[in-house]
Amino acid sequence: MRAVEAVFPLLSQPKKIFITTHYKPDGDAMGSALGLYHYLLQKGHQPTVVSPSAVPDFLQWLPGMEQVLNFETDNKICLERLKDTDLIFCLDFNRLDRIKQMEQPLRKAPQPKVLIDHHLMPEEEAFQFGISQPGKSSTCEMVYDFILVDKGEKYLNQAVMQCLYTGTMTDTGSFRFPATTASVHKMVADFKERGLAHSAIHEEIYDVWSENRMRLLGFALYKKMEIFPEAGVGIICLTKDEIEQFQAGTGDTEGLVNYPLSIAGIKCAVLIIERKDEIKLSFRSKGNKDVSAIARDYFEGGGHFNAAGGRSSRDMATTYENVKNALQITSNIQS
């Protein structure tokens, strides 16, 4: 994989560009994809953003969302755009298997692929150009860096800034996680000096919950959260039937895994959700608890030191026991 700067000569003339991100995209995924979209559009390119699955409701306000294609529902046109593109940007995922049904079409695509990502252990052989920086707060911050290296500051309009701020804010837990470095605050200061209204973005993300989502949160915390104070662990398990009971939509469990970490003494939290064909796991931790190793070694996943995800093909009861065993095996959480 060549350095990401090596792709700039390919962008010196207008190109058709395919931009995608990971399955079940979050704020950083869509923020980085649409931030790059608006930047490339201003430079005369023809970008297309394709999400491997539906985008959560709380992100539908993002500028350019009306142009985003869903691979699951717009399959034919997505494949046509992929075939007709000159360059492929892959944002906020480190391996092609993280895009599910899109994996094989993308692997077979002959066009150069560009990786911009901040997850551990990238599949470098799958990309011709790219940059992987696990120490970065978000892929949105990396797209901002990409724009600066490309000397494209004049293209930092409201649409670009709103998208990049959204992903940086959500991936840093509203700027409280350790990944919130000085460079993050410098980026936000730059945006504010250019006229970004940040409070409106907070309202769009955090003050638009549905009643069902709020009731699901209450149910999860009151009925489904288990706390193991001696181990410093909190676990929430939600079955498919329970999620359907509250008519939870895409993104309605976003952020739920973080709540146990607000309890004094809890250093690690796990959210276990039963889906149609598998069980998904989200891990969060504070301090020196490496949950990416747990996700990678036991649950076919990975991610960041303090935030990771995985999957299980076992039933809920077995998965729950495997999580407890994995936490005890991989770290002395009591210490």
The answer, as to whether pTM is greater than 0.85, is yes
In sequence order, what are the residues at sequence separation of 6 or more whose Cβ sits closer than 8 angstroms to the Cβ of residue 232? 265, 266, 267, 268, 333, 334
Report the SS3 class of residue 192.
helix
Write out pLDDT tens, residues 236-256: 999 999 999 999 887 899 899
Q: Which residue has the higher pLDDT, 332 or 50?
A: 50
In this structure, are residues 252 and 216 in contact, taking their beta carbons and an 8 Å threshold? yes
User: DSSP states of 87-124 as a string?
Assistant: EEEEES-SSGGGGGGGHHHHHH--S-EEEEE-SSS--G
Q: Which residue has the tokens 């003494």?
A: 265
Percent of the chain with pLDDT over 70: 98
Residue 329, pLDDT > 50, answer: no
Tokens of 232: 């410093």
Cα gap 255→30, rounded to integer Å: 16
Q: 94 phi and psi, to 5 degrees?
A: -105, -15
pLDDT level of residue 127 (50, 70, 90 thresholds): very high
List the domains of the chain with CATH numbers.
Answer: 2-206 (3.90.1640.10), 211-330 (3.10.310.30)
- Strand pairing report for 46-51 and 69-70: parallel
Write out pLDDT tens, residues 19-38: 999 999 999 999 999 999 99
Cα gap 316→54, rounded to integer Å: 25
